[in-house]
A and B are shown apart, each in its own frame.
Chain A
Amino acid sequence: MKKILMTAMTTSISEVMETMFFLPVEIGSKIIFEESGIEKNKLIACQLTFSGDTSGKLITVAPSDLAAEMAENFMGEAKDQLTRDHLTGTLTEMVNMVCGNALSQVKPKVPYKLGIPEQISFSDLNENIDYTSIEIIDAIMLISLIMNEV
Chain B
Amino acid sequence: MSYSILIVDDSLPMRSVIKRTLNAAGFGSSEILEAPNGREALKLMEGAWIDLIMTDYNMPEMNGLEYIKTVKAGEMSKDIPVVVISTEGNDEKIKDFMDAGAAGYITKPFTAEAIRDLVVNILGEMDYEEDIDDSDDDFDF
Q: Which residues of A contact B (CB under 8 A)?
A: 15-16, 19-20, 71, 74-77, 85-86, 89-90, 92-93, 96-97, 99-101, 103-105, 107-112, 114, 116
- Closest CB of chain A to B138's CB: distance in Å? 45
A-B contact count (CB 8 A): 79
Instruction: Indicate if the CB atoms of A116 and B10 lie closer than 8 Å.
Output: yes
A75 touches B88 (CB 8 A): no
Docked-complex contact A74 and B88, CB < 8 angstroms: no
B residues less than 8 Å from A71 (CB atoms): 13
If A20-B17, A76-B20 touch, whether A96 touches B11 (CB-CB below 8 Å) is yes
Q: B-side binding surface: helix, strand, loop or mixed?
A: loop
Given A75-B13, A75-B16, A108:B89 Cβ within 8 A: yes
Contact check, B13 vs A100: say whether CB atoms are below 8 A apart.
Answer: no
> Closest 4 CB pairs between A and B?
A100-B87, A104-B89, A19-B109, A89-B13
**Contact partners of A107 in chain B: CB under 8 A:** 90
Task: Tell which of B14, B20, B86, B90 touches A110, judged by Cβ atoms closer than 8 Å.
Answer: B90
